[in-house]
Structure 1
Amino acid sequence: MKLLSLISDHLLLCVFLSLLWGTTDSTTTTTVTVTTTVTAGQQSTAKTETTTRLTTNLLTATTRKPTPLTQTIQKYTPLFKNIPSSPPLTSTEQTTTSTTTKAPPDNVHSVNVITQTESSITLTWNKVNNIPTYFLQYGNITDDINKTEEGPIVHVVTSLTAGKNYTFTLFTSEGLNSSGYRFSAVTAPRNAEEFKKNGQNETSITLGWKTVPNIDNYILTFNEREINISNSAEEYKVSNLTSGTRYNFTLFTVFGNVSSSGVNCIAVTAPKDVQTVTVTQNENSVTLTWEKVKDTLTYILEYDSGNIVIGKNDMDGCTTSGASVTCVVSSLEAGTNYNFTLFTVFENISSSGYNFSAPTVPPVVPWVSVTERFTNNITLEWENMNKAWQYQLQINGRVSDNVSDSSSDTIRKVVTSLQPGTEYDFSLTTVFAGLRSTPYTNFTVTAIDCASADWKVTNSSIEAKIEGLFSKATAHNGSNVHVSDGRENVSFTGLYPGATYNISLVYEKSSRVFLQCEHKLTILPPNLNAHCEYRAAGYSVLIKWTDPEGEWTNAEVNVTGETHTVASPETEIIINGSQPAKKYKVSVTSLSGLRRSSEPHVFYCQADPRGVIAGSVFGVLLFGLLVALVVFIFLKRPDIISRKKSSFIGGSKVSNTQSKSIPAAKFPDHFHQLSLDENRGFSEEYECLAPVGTDQTRKTAILPENKAKNRFNNVLPYDWCRVKLTTSDPDGISDYINANYMPGYSSNREYIATQGPLPSTVNDFWRMIWEQRVKRIVMVTNCIEGGRTKCEQYWPADSKPCLFGELLVTMRSEQQETNWTLREFNLKDRKTSEERTIKHFHFTAWPDHGVPECTEVLIQFRGLVRQHIEREGSKAPTVVHCSAGVGRTGTIISLDVLLQQLEKEQAVGINAFVHKMRLNRPYMVQTESQYVFLHQCIMDSLQPKNTNEENIYENTYENADMIYVNATALQELRRQNANA
């Protein structure tokens, strides 16, 4: 190193001197002698002499190659290749070399990189002046390169690290080394590992790999497309691809513009889904048809209870025809909705799936029963096979709305607005998800209203023309049976006079027998043949008659307008109060129940004349006695004269039978007695009812929170028998409604008497109807009367449903008559979807506090209600209301019960039943006029239907006082209501 330093210093000195001397073209020869002595184990000095001649053209030193130096070096060993150094010596020696050398060889002009792999780089260059020896240095490694062959040198550098930038220095060596040609080259990066498909759909494939560190980027190639990807990516989604297509992907890593060898991945895009599936359903199978996707034959059909693989070799019930595929999915459950997913398969890759639902056809109902048959409606019941299904009923071509019931195992449907005695074909279809089962078909026939027929009876025959279908009519009286085969006219002859016959009409078809109607009819009793005999010297007569052939229950004997009743089997009666030797007109009529003989036996009876003289004497004495009595009373008790006529003066005798039933035969006399002395008897009986029940508690009704629920402050329900609404409120406040259970003929809770709903209590009213399972409502008021609201209209005005709380009310029908309107409501609970039918009987011809114009219309209206009660057969109470729920309400309830009592017992207890009602609700039968009207109804019911006796009761509130002058309780109640 010291030698090189000396040489360098010398050269710099020469150049400096040349510049000072201004030499433009000179040659300088310098001789340097260096002596070095090296002794093993110690340092000594020897002499080495080197002579170097340096020739330099100073003017061209920066643009021309330097002239070769002549160097003389003494050494013991040669230099280590291209790295100049002092030779290591092992002994004391002195080497003297004296040579003359030329300049180092030139560097190569360029080096080309032929190939780069993960562990090697292949280089090539042209020889410099045909020099064969080169040294390639990189890192701590030097490669010796010696090629004597002609042509460029190719050298492979191996054992390199992938993805690394190497700096190379290439020296040309010819004794001396060139200054070195520096260049850089990189090895190819390693390939990404775990290159695979992560997912796909119809238009894209997602590829993933394990990240390769220290690279520049990735290149993904496929189908002549090239995509550059960030070096940090681990996944790439290739989009805009074609569905159902195979793709070959190659992923390269890139470092220094050099790519790896690349890794491959084959992936396919998912095929498209089918566009649509045509479905044909049966009860236990569905047939599916779809168009192929790109002629694909492989599909997977998944559904709730299984799956089907559809391929070339295993079609599993599926067939192909042209461009379509048809598949039958069997062993399904009827009436069930199945969810299907159909996948198209391409090279084991499924499409996203086409989803659709296909319900199976529901089954036909196994049975349908006609449980009720009335004149205008029938009731059908059938098994509710599945609570999610609906059912559609069709009768004679008329299709009903779908029916369903999620709470019961059977479904009940009432079909209304039918014609009496008419045959109806019906079909019932199960409906599920828009699919209809095979219909269940059958027929039935509506009943006939025998009671409405015009029955013509004699004392030995019954005839009538019947509207409606029947095959045979029979009349039964014990073992005595009569048959009429007429298809329209019923005729029975040879009957027993006065007997009661049970008439039944039947209709036979297809081995089925329908009982069309039953009717009890009593024919006219036999005529009586009577005569009279003398008795008590002419002050009484004896009327006698023979026991006739036939049945009779009573005989009516009328003597000069006064009627006397004799019960069978008595055949005579003594009539007192006659006058001797006087002729009396007598009529004798037989009765069988309420039926009277065709004509009375009329004759004249002559009283015994022997009592005339004795009677005259007695009359004179009696007159004198009466005069004396009058004078005595006038003198001693003049106040008696100012009183109203006493009962004994007027002949009135108030009945003391308030708690007893009056036999039908004695009721006319009872009525007559009460009517005497300006209806004094009625007034006294009615006044005695005023305090009945008033000592009972009404604590709930007077609670502050319940006061607004009462229409009148003085008409409040008793606690013990009030109707309670269902509630979860522990204090029981919200269970209140102004209504009481009322007794009937056969049950203590046969009716519910309630006020007309207020706007704030309409929802409570319908809650009561639903919770009490009411089948009928009797309304005996109008909503508006005299310009005042008597009752809130609690039903829809038309067929549009109205919601009251959780109950949806729909008016199905409305039939308006002169004196009443009949409606039918459908009531549906929105929570449970349960539906019920409610009949609404609305009597419109009854004024407030008054009475109807005649008894006949109210009796007829009551008959409609009673007919429905008996045919419907429900034990649920009947709701009856007017405005306050006591006057007209009490009257119609009383009339219904009393007519039942009259029919079944041949007796009636009006006062007793009104008394019983008032123990359940105050003011029942609110006015004396209504109390009298009840008696008149019973009187008229005892008369033949064709009587035209004028009713004495007016339909006005104003003249009620003139008719019933002693109705003080009525007047007081009127004043209270006027102030309400």
Structure 2
Amino acid sequence: MEQVLVLAFALLCVLSASGQTTPPNVNDVRITHRTETELTFQWDIAGGSSSYNYILQRDGIDSEVITAGTGNQVTYTVSGLSSGTKYNWILFTVFGEQWSPGFPFSAATVPPNVQGVSVIDQTETTITLQWNKDKAEYSYELRYEDKVETPPSPQSTVEYTVTSLSPGTKYTFTLYTVFEGLKSSGFSFSAVTVPPDITGFMIIGRNETALTFQWTKDKEEYTYELKDSDVETHTSFTDTTVVCVITSLSPGSEYFSTLYTVFEGVKSHGYRFTDVTVPSNVESVSVVEVNDTYVILQWNAVPNEQNNKYDYVLKYGDVEESVDFAVGNVVKHRVSGLIPETKYSFTLYTVFYSQRSTGFNFYVFTSLSSITEVRVTRSLTELTVEWNKFNKSNVYNYTLLISDGAEIDFIGSAVVGDVMTYKHSSLTPGTVYSFTLLTVVDNVRDPGFRFKSITTLDCASFSWAVSSSSIVADVYGCTYVTAQSSSGSGKNASIEGDKVNLQDLYPGESYTVSLFYNLESEMLTQCSQRLTLVPNSVSHLHCKYYSGGYGLAVIWEHPTGIVDVVEVDVNGKSFNHSNSSEEPTQQLVTGLQAAEWYKVTATSISGARRNEMTIHCQTDPAGVIAGVLVFFLLVIIICAGVFVWIRYGSAKRSHQPVESKVSKTYNKTIASDKFPEHFQNMSRDDNRDFSAEYEDLGSVGVNQSSVAAGLPENKDKNRVSNVLPYNTSRVHLTINKAGDSDYINANYMPGYGNVSRQYIAAQGPLPSTVNDFWRMVWEQKSSAIVMLTSCTEDGMVKCEQYWPLDNTPFLYGNLLVAVKSVNKSDSWTLREFHVKNKMTSDTRIVHHFHFTAWPDHGVPCGTEDLIQFRELIRQHIESPFSAGPTVVHCSAGVGQTGTLIALDVLLQQLNREKAVGVAAFVKEMRLSRPLMVETESQYVFLHQCILDSLPPQSEPIYENTDTIYVNEMALKRI
């Protein structure tokens, strides 16, 4: 443009120099029409003169001479231009040879349309377009519906996404090329958005080979495509819905499909669904077994092409039962709880993903069975017959036929509850009666259950002849007899000719004699009688001189057998001796006359039975002379003694020996606020008073009989020879069968207050007594076992492990024991056992409290752990889950066991009475089992535990430097 102006100015200067007049420029040039290749210009004639011509110059090229014509305006069209191009022009006014300076201006042609637009992406709400850009200067305008958008204008290729569109809709677009404010004629095209997935889809029908489903038809223009080339479809339409049927499918199969909405050749994302066809029915059902209350059915599993496993549902009446698929091709199912003599209509459905087949129908008739079990409660003159209603149903009636001709009918619905009862009274003792029990339904009787029973006997009505080794009696109504001693031994014999004849029994022993009747291989107890045999008399009864003729030493050897007491009678004086020693025993009798004969009687006593042996003994005749000498000698000694006492007695009184305190403290309780002072006093001089008190407890209970523990068959059941349970308090096991023994090394132990059997103190089980140990736990209904020893210490076995090594249940006799939980801490382990009786199927929970911080020798290093451990046990005992006595054991069952039991009882006493009597309770325990609290250190440790359990005092009597007691002093004495 600048060049054109310069050129026009130069030309004007030339004209001026030559003297010619320069024509004027036009005032303005207008564009009246333009296309991609043409521009039409219009201007007013220069200077208002029509004599001027014009030349239009573009890029230095002149046009032809343009004449003004007749009007006031000049119109001129330039063709052959390039589209979308901006041109620079100069319009010269020409007159003759003179040119005006020139009027410069610019003008551009209309830009071209794009050659084509591609749709490169579609969604339900967007369309992405792409086209090529011819020139970098071009921009674009996109119009659709009533919207105008200006896409960005990169250098070459344009991509533009139209948003906020409606799904499944066809849009008409016009794309304009824009250049220098000029728009092309516009390129029109159409594009569609992705149609939406179907809505309102539902399965409206299915059978074994077809699936029918429907969905909502959103637009008339939409079509649909099912992606599954292997199936045949049939589709029908209504104004609002589409129904499609897929046929030629396999029964009981699962199908996966995708359903597309199609619009203008564009598919939706796809609605995915799965469904199953109805499975086929079984072909047939076989009845494997049928009786009155159940039926066992069998059928072949239904095959299918997809190898699916079907379940089955069996329906009869209002009952439906699920049948899981069995491994293999054969399915068996038991239907229980049916009514006898009834026709049942069954329908068996094959089930696949909750879809059932049409059902296979069949019928089964139940039968009528007999009662197979009755219970008879027997007495002397009455037999009570009980049986359970069949399946707890009132449908059954019953008829009882009795051997005496009676016939009793029972209506099941007339009896409340599930048990039927009949009492057959006014009978003869020891007599067998026969019965037949019939079940009746709709007046149909089964063949009947036949059984017999026998009335019991009164053993006291028989005359029992008892000697030291035999029991004989005439009896009736029994076939077998047993005699069981209190120690566990016994005799068994058949009864021949209605006569009991038991020989070779143990003298003085008490036997429970039981009569039995063998009725159809069942041994029925008829009666029992407790009889004590006559004890043996003492042997080698003789006398020796004693007390210078004024006494006798009566000497005898202990009789064999059971003897509670040997009573010696001399001159009207009686003396009792226990029969616990194997050495010869003597009784010194004084106050007799010298040279006199006396009747000496030694009577063996066992229960109420007595056996006397009498001899006559003479006192020493030399005693008369010796008596005179002795008299004078005694006078001299007394005088000398009086003299010494007067002179030296006062000086020696202060050195009298300390009396034993235990006799004064057996029944003495110490108040809780006085206990620290008491403990301090007892601990002085190296635990002197503790030692004295403990030593005096050593003789408590030692004269009691332990004969059962010493029997040959029981000796191997004792861990140590000096810890044998006393007969009076030992635990008796139940004898259930021949060969059982009632012996176990365990005693009942007293609890606090009036509780006589709160604990059982037992030795740790031996390999041979583990089964007996679990029998005791089960029979005593114990819910807790307290163990205070390790199974082994220093390589020595202290207790046989009597529970399973792992979580695998183990059978101990008839008891199956399983470990259900184990919780360990530093000082104890808590276990939970589940114990099942294999004979009765009863199951109980037994808690196992195992204290692991108590060494075999000595006592624990502190009291805190044992006090806390005792609290855990006490919480269990006082819980509603506790039942039966708590079993406590260590190795021998006396040391740690006695200390723990005493601690539990004494802390209860301390809590309730604010006082405690340690010696009194240890004495009470030793009357039930020997050596309870076995060592002096355990006795001191028991006191220390009580002391450490006391509430703190504001001003303690003495300073206990160790809060948790370390038994240094007590251990010195071990």
- TM-score, normalised to structure 1, is 0.46
Name which one, 1 or 2, has greater alpha-carbon Rg. Answer: 1
- TM-score, normalised to structure 2, is 0.46
**Higher strand fraction: Structure 1 or Structure 2?**
2
